[in-house]
Structures are given as structure tokens and as C-alpha cells.
Amino acid sequence: MDRKLSAILAADVVGYSALMERDEAGTFERLRAGRKELFEPEIARHHGQIFKLMGDGMLAEFGSVVDAVECAVSLQRGLAERNVAVPEDQRIRVRIGINLGEVIVEGEDRYGEGVNVAARLEGLAEPGGICVSGRVQEDVQGKLDITFEDIGEQKLKNIARPVRTFRVRLDATAAPAPAGWRRGLYAALALMILLAVGALWTGLGSEWTFLTILRSGDQPIESAEVGTKPAIAILPFLNQSDDSAREYFADGLTQDIINALGRFSALTVMSWNAVLPYKVKPASPEEIGRGLAVSYLVEGSVRQTGDRVLVITQLVDTRQGRVLWSGRFEEALADVFALQDNIVTHIVRVLAIRVTQIEQNRVFTKPTENLAAYDYVLRARPALQRPTHANNVEARALLKRAIELDPNYAAAYAALAETYHLASSMGWAESPTAFLSRAEELATKALRLDDSDVRARITLGHIHLFHQRYNQAEAEIERAIAINPNDAHGLAGRGTILLWLGHTDEAIEALEQAQRIDPDLNAIDRFALSLAYYLERRYDAAIEQAELNLRTTAGANFSRILLAAAYAQDNRADDAARVVTMIRRIDPTFDPKEFGNKFLNSSDLEHLRDGFRKARLYPVTGDLPPAE
């Protein structure tokens, strides 16, 4: 068996399948012309030879690593020039990876890890870009007028050891500082951060572990200074799959990344509802940063082709419009959860936040082995996020199907429990008591399967509150917040419990914190905020929240009842009378004596009933009784 040291160049056409599907003959001709007119002459000019051709790629061998890199740069710049006159959807773009390593020689072919690493590096490159191994960068550094961007050690599929990886900066020519100097700088920065963190957190115990040891290539950033809590928004990933119906998959992946990042206590993460408007509203990073009050945002795209998923994403500093990190992740669909974990891990590392082992364990768990069940849960989410009776029924059917496919899928049980609780709260249940009982049963089952399921704990907390089991309600909500400090529903749940316990100031604080993370609170949480404002005699704010609930949620009659009381207290008698008329038409049997009777503070109940008296919203049988 012959072996030798070679520089291997791997190139792959981006979006080959889609190009062929759109125009098979034209694509084939453009590829053939590109190979004959550009690739073969350039590779020969740089003393290389092609040893393998595939439909959408090729492998070439060079005796000199300098020749290989110089050839790759010429190829990418030549392709860019050829693409100028070509329509966007017909352009041929390639990714290139280069490695220097030992290969096995068998006739004209080459095998071994040296070839495999080059192929994996090609997969990390951006369309039109080049990625090289650390050995290549070290040999070429200072010999060519190009700049390398260090992106750190990368775990490559089926390669045992991480590979130090660099991107070739085709838009820059200035030679960078020597690699050894750069590594020294990173080490010094990491040491400074560790010393600062250690001084601040001395005495917290050994449970704390840190990701503040920067990988080579990670840039230390201002918001990661000790004592701050970076605020970040994950924008909806663009669906670049050929099937537009897979939009829900891109949305679901985005939401899962939001939920995973939310579990890190050192971050403030905006909710899905907060970022959703930017899916259809183009804006610059600076504008998004101001609009959401965040320092960082993540944006990206998802392409699902067959059983493969490709995600390209980047982390941006909104204050400077600077890209701090970008990554390309491609996995089998079966490894979609590993893909999510990789993205989250990279973001956390670049932000250099501290995490506990508990947080890591809770974030990086695989929810189900059954991808079809996961797909049903993703399809149910949009229906749950737009609460109508029909959507609720649709979500319930999808989630039951997910459970049939995987009877141990905790998240499916938790979401199904949420549908039953929502139906009972919104008046959509044939038997509210039976629906609440079913919701409690399902949420409990979810927690038996996974005690870190946040949605199950929040739903269970609300059910306990309905039954006036205040201590149990508070315990469940606090456990949910401990798992995910950024869950707006959990924070709102805390505010709701504090509201009924009579701690109105603290309730408003929690509910407003939830609203900062999720401006589009659900109807139940927004009602709680409206009621809290009412009890604090902030009637304008109470009216604003109640009116918003009625505009956005069909069936939110409970907000109409509160609105009548708030109008009356605000001396808007005509408006109060109009709302009372509507209440009596919608629900002729409504009895205000039953509304608000779970307040522990009798003065809160009396204040609410005073509003009902002023609005002339009396029960059928007579005046409202005084609060007990």
C-alpha cells in the first residue's frame, strides 16, 4: 500500500439538485463549460490533477499546499466573474475545502483521512468560499497575499479528532499577524476573563463551569463582560427547501433554538412572538436591535433535501452591525437535535457566558427518537400559537397522533395538556371540569417522562391556581422558571399567582417582564396584566390591555367584563354601558358574583365589585354582595 503527503482540494456545487431540477440540460452544460474552461486549466496551471469527478463535485491533488490554496482562490474569483452575466437562479457556486495530509495511493485514485478531512472542510465553507485545515494555514501563512479567518477547532463527521479550521478571506488581502501571536492573544484574553469571573464568583461552589475559555477564532465581545446579561433575538430562519409547505419546519427549528438558549440563565432571549414580525418585515440589525432592545441577533436559513438538513446561520452584534460568528451545519434529518445543539453551543461559546452543568443537561437532550412524532408536534405549534376553537381542535388531533407514534414523548403530552387547559379557559370545552382534569392528567404524565418540561409545569401551575391550590401552583411555576428563566409564560404565570395572592406590585413586575420578552402575550396572561393594572387603579393601562385582548383573541369575554369595570372607574359611563349591553347579549346568564371570587385579599375583590356596581353590571337576582 503506497502512501504519500498531499494537498487535497475538494469542491462541491451549491444547490446542485435544485439547479438540475429547474434546468437539467442548461445546468449540465454550464457545469461542463466551467470544468473545461476554468477548473481543469487552473488546476493544471497550479500543478495539480483531478483524481475524482462526481455529478456535483470533484477532488484534486496538489504536490504543494501553496499551489492548492492559490488555485482555490483563482477558481472562486473566476467563478464570480463568470456569474456576473448569469441570472441569480442559474449561477454556479461552489464550496471548497483544502487539507494537507497523508493519503493512500491506488492507481489514479486517492483515499484516507487526508481526503476525508478535505471533503468535510468543504462542507463548512460558505457558498463561494474556502475552508482550510490548520496545517494548510500554517504552511501558506506569509507566502500568499491572502487573509485567513480562524474559526476554531471543528468536530468533523467521522473524524476522531477536532480539526483546527480557517476560512480564506477572499475580500481581504492584508497579511494577518502570525498565528502564534494570535493564539497568545486569545490565551491572554481567556485568562483575563477567567480571573475576573473567578474573583467575582468565588464561594459559589464547584457546580459552576464556564465556557469563557475562548476557542481560537471566537471573538471576545463587550456584552460578555462579567455582571452583564446579554440580550439576544433569534430571527425566524428562512425556509430554502424546495417545498414551501415545510415552512413550519424552519419555524419549529427556530423555536427550539429559542427555547434551548432560554434555558441559560446568563442570557435574556426574546420569544418567538417577539421576533415573528421580522419574518416579513425587512430591517437592518441596528433597527432590530433598537426595536427589540437586544445587543445580538441570530439569523439563518434552513434547507431540507430528502433526509438531509442544512442550516447556515450567523451571530450579529446589532450595535456595530458586525458578524461575530457564522456557521454551516449539515446533518441527516435523524440528527436534527444534534444540529440544534451545535448551533446553541457555538452561540454560547462566542458570547462567552457562564453555564451550570444542570443547564447543559437540560438543554442538550433528545426529545424523541421518532421523527414523524416530532414533525406532528411542529405542525401543531402554529395552531396553538393562534388560539381559536378550530385551531385548538386541530392541534389536539396532531398531538394525539404524535403520542400514538411515540407514547413516551413528554413534549407531546405537555402540548396536549395545554390544548385542554386552553379550551377550558376560553369557553370551548363541552365540560370545563372534565377538560381541566384531562389537562392535569396529561401534564403530570409529561413530567413523569421528563421533569424538566417547562410547558407541563406551567399548565399544571395554572390548574392548581384554578383549584386554589396556591402553594402547589407557586411551586410548579417557580420550577418552570428555574429551568427556563426566559419563558414568558412562566414569568406571566408567576405574576398571575402573585395577583391572586394580593401582591399586586410584584405581579405587575413579573407580568411586565414577561411582556418585554413576549410583546404578544396570550389572552390569559394579558388578562392577568389588565386585572393587575385595574387593582392598582391604573385604569388607562387596564383598558388598553383589555381592548387589545378583545381585538386579537376571539372569545376573550373575560376581558370584556373587566373592561366594563375599568371604563366605569375611569368615568367613561357611556363606554361602560355599551360594553355591558354587549356582555348581556353574548352571555345572558353571566353572574358577576362568580367573577374574581378566588382573590385572597378581600379589598381586591371589593374593588372589582365596586367597578361592577358603577358599570351597572348586576346579577339577575339583585345587587352584588359586599366582599366577605
pLDDT of residue 200 exceeding 60, the answer is no
Question: Apex CA 540: angle with CA 459 and CA 426, to 5°?
Answer: 30
Residues 170 and 228 in one domain: no
Distances (CA, A) of 342 to 81, 221, 287, 324, 420: 35, 20, 28, 16, 34
Number of H helices, E strands in the chain: 25, 16
Report which DSSP code applies to 625: P
Whole-number Å distance between alpha carbons of 337 and 280? 27
What's the pLDDT tens digit per position in 375-390?
888 888 888 877 788 8
Q: What is the pLDDT of residue 188?
A: 34
Residues 306 and 169 in one domain: no
Distances (CA, A) of 138 to 43, 60, 114, 117: 22, 20, 16, 16
What's the pLDDT tens digit per position in 101-131?
888 888 888 888 889 999 999 988 888 899 9
pLDDT of residue 576 exceeding 60, the answer is yes
Whether 381 maps to a domain, the answer reads no
pLDDT of residue 182 exceeding 70, the answer is no
**CATH code of residue 351:** 3.40.50.10610
Whole-number Å distance between alpha carbons of 509 and 269? 18
Residues 267 and 139 in one domain: no
Work out the percent of the chain whose per-residue pLDDT is above 70. 86
Q: What is the pLDDT of residue 217?
A: 34
Q: What is the pLDDT of residue 145?
A: 76
Q: What is the pLDDT of residue 626?
A: 52
Confidence of residue 452 (pLDDT cuts 50, 70, 90): confident
Whole-number Å distance between alpha carbons of 432 and 254? 33
Whether 215 maps to a domain, the answer reads no
φ, ψ dihedrals at 593, nearest 5°: -60, -25
Whether 403 maps to a domain, the answer reads no
Residue type, 619: P
Whole-number Å distance between alpha carbons of 359 and 167? 32
pLDDT of residue 202 exceeding 70, the answer is no
pLDDT of residue 598 exceeding 60, the answer is yes
pLDDT of residue 351 exceeding 80, the answer is no
- Which of 121, 153, 176 delimits the end of a domain? 176
pLDDT of residue 359 exceeding 60, the answer is no
Q: What is the pLDDT of residue 625?
A: 53
Q: What is the pLDDT of residue 221?
A: 36
**CATH code of residue 140:** 3.30.70.1230
Residue-wise over 458-475: b if at least 16 C-beta within 10 A, else e? bbbbbbbbbeeeeeebbb
Residues 32 and 126 in one domain: yes
Helices (H), 467-572: 470-483, 488-501, 504-517, 523-535, 539-552, 557-569
Q: What is the pLDDT of residue 186?
A: 35
pLDDT of residue 356 exceeding 80, the answer is no
Q: Average per-residue pLDDT in the chain?
A: 81
Helix (H, G, I), strand (E, B) or coil at 354: strand
- Which of 319, 347, 363 delimits the end of a domain? 363
pLDDT of residue 176 exceeding 60, the answer is no
Residues 236 and 102 in one domain: no
> Which cell is 626 given?
359586599
Whether 492 maps to a domain, the answer reads no
Residues 613 and 542 in one domain: yes
What's the pLDDT tens digit per position in 63-83?
899 999 999 999 998 888 888
**CATH code of residue 564:** 1.25.40.10
Residues 351 and 268 in one domain: yes
- Which of 303, 329, 363 delimits the end of a domain? 363
Is there a contact between 71 and 25 (Cβ–Cβ < 8 Å)? Answer: no
Q: What is the pLDDT of residue 619?
A: 54
Q: What is the pLDDT of residue 360?
A: 54
pLDDT of residue 132 exceeding 90, the answer is yes
Q: How far is CA 511 from the centre of its chain?
A: 22
Domain that holds residue 557: 522-628
Is there a contact between 500 and 599 (Cβ–Cβ < 8 Å)? Answer: yes
Q: Which has the minimum average pLDDT: 40-49, 157-166, 521-530?
A: 157-166
Domain count, the chain: 3
Residues 150 and 46 in one domain: yes
Residues 155 and 262 in one domain: no
Whole-number Å distance between alpha carbons of 582 and 571? 19
Confidence of residue 363 (pLDDT cuts 50, 70, 90): low
**Residue with cell string 355591558:** 580
Q: Which position has the higher pLDDT, 442 or 218?
A: 442
